[in-house]
Chains A and B, each alone.
Chain A
Amino acid sequence: MLMLANPRRKAVRVLVVAAACAVGTLQAAAPPAPDANALQIDQNIQSLKDEVLQFNRDAVTLEQDTLYPPYSRTSVYLGVRIGGLLVKDFSIAFDDGTPQTFNFTDDEGRAFLLHNGLRRMLRANLAPGPHRIRADFSAQYADAKPSDAPVTNHFEAIFDKGYSQTDLELTLGRSTRVAKPGLTLKQWSTTR
């Protein structure tokens, strides 16, 4: 028996069209009213979401304070400020420690570019005083050919860890339009 080619794809097309069209089609009577029970369940789930979020907030805060006490807490964030550049790999190390490497999917790479958001790469406990940070990255322009060599660079800097939590913002950017993409470091601390 001859079957329609890929009926599931066609069914999805129906979903797209139906989502944009009004409820019901040509009908004599008014469409049915929403189910009150369904609305009640929706409201209950919205309240539960709130409670689960509060729970997560409290649990994350306690876990963070336990694992990374404020006097030693050091957080590293990465941001990308070059349009169309998708970061693929990123590695980071403190002092003489072993580098930690992170791989990014294209979607994760694109998320950096949407609203200049930062991704927290890691948290570590560092004693107050000077520390060396080393970072490497590999990136690729979104329109690059597969044969094009990836954009890579290395970064190294010293920063002074204070007695309070420290946030390190590494930004992948370039100083001029023709300069090679590289990382810069900005150190943040919070006002209390």
Chain B
Amino acid sequence: MASRIKRTMLSPISLMPEMVGDFITRFGSKKLKEELCGEITDKFLEILLGGMDIAFTLSSGYRKNIKGFEGRYLFRTADNLVSASAAFKDGNMHVHEDSIDDWGARVTFKDAKALRAFLFSQNQDILNSILANEVEVDGNLNYIYKFGFMARDLAKRLGVG
């Protein structure tokens, strides 16, 4: 995940045209592309949030998604063995590997595959995953819709959407 130092170092790239930022993001998100297109691993959530973090740093177009947005997300498995949180503030994304209490939206998912289907599957959307009982959502549903868009927007920028 992009640390603050990494972000500071990479941030000049975001001043370049959007296409350049997207190109470099694509280059730097190989792992995420693999997770999206191929075999999924237990690291999916971590890699996804990391990929988003990098993309927000590198791509001015992608970063526009979180301009003025303040939201806190908690992602976890039902057994709490996997959990991570993402907070958006001041145009930045902050990813934590642990749980937070003051989330605006919480996504509890069965496994990595279910989370991927929830966020990315072309023939499924957020409601469908809830119907299949593979994902449970608490809090503000609109946050989930926004996150869903940002995830798919990233996939599009990576050329896999």
Q: Do A and B bind each other?
A: no
